[in-house]
Chain A
Amino acid sequence: KAGVTQTPRYLIKTRGQQVTLSCSPISGHRSVSWYQQTPGQGLQFLFEYFSETQRNKGNFPGRFSGRQFSNSRSEMNVSTLELGDSALYLCASSKGGKNTEAFFGQGTRLTVV
């Protein structure tokens, strides 16, 4: 069974641009969550989508947005990139019910120059 797939693996963008990251969950999983990982702030929760609806949201500015499609694939968008947005962005998928295991993708390494 295929795992969580994130594309692209690496990305370099210029300050002020926008970027879209993609996450394909494990087949049958309806919940997709996004996290930002940086050396200074560690792993921080961005948002969770379940059945195409945002179910939880972290404390990030509105420049960070996401969506989920009917096939459970999810995209995350960051507009007006800042140098501080450089990070590893991790996606996790789960069945979405109580106490179900979250499986993580390998992440997208975003560098903003």
Chain B
Amino acid sequence: AQSVTQLDSQVPVFEEAPVELRCNYSSSVSVYLFWYVQYPNQGLQLLLKYLSGSTLVESINGFEAEFNKSQTSFHLRKPSVHISDTAEYFCAVTVSGNTGKLIFGQGTTLQVKP
């Protein structure tokens, strides 16, 4: 069975500092990986996804994630965070490309301080 582990439940960081949110997955077959963001009282928004090809994927708002098959990781990074990045971030995995069934990690709360 697939599973996702987000190693940090909370990550406090100062504005304009770099940040890394860690995600490890467990699966015996090929996986597809996603990062979602959730703002308070909102649903989830897709931040970026890895399906195949280049192991480094980028989002339009400066986040990037690197798929590392040997370490079974998909860590999310941003070189300089803003106050508006404060939110909860979820790593998710699916098998065989069916995004109708996503397995989520427990989430990481990113707290950006001024």
A residues contacting B by CB (< 8 A) are: 4, 31, 33, 35, 42-45, 48, 50, 55-56, 58, 90, 92, 94, 96, 98-107
Contacts and interface: CB of A to CB of B under 8 A. Distances in A.
A58 B101 CA distance: 9
B84 interface: no
B104 interface: yes
Contacts of B102: 33, 35, 43, 45, 92, 102
Q: Report the 6 A-B pairs with minimum CB-CB distance, sorted nearest first.
A: A104-B43, A98-B97, A48-B100, A43-B104, A104-B44, A102-B99
A102 B46 contact: yes
Contacts of B46: 101-103
Nearest to A103: B46
Nearest to A40: B106
Contacts, number: 63
Interface string B13-37: 0000000000000000000100010
Contacts of A42: 104-107
Interface class of chain B by DSSP? loop
A58 B102 CA distance: 10
A56 B98 contact: yes
A33 B101 contact: yes
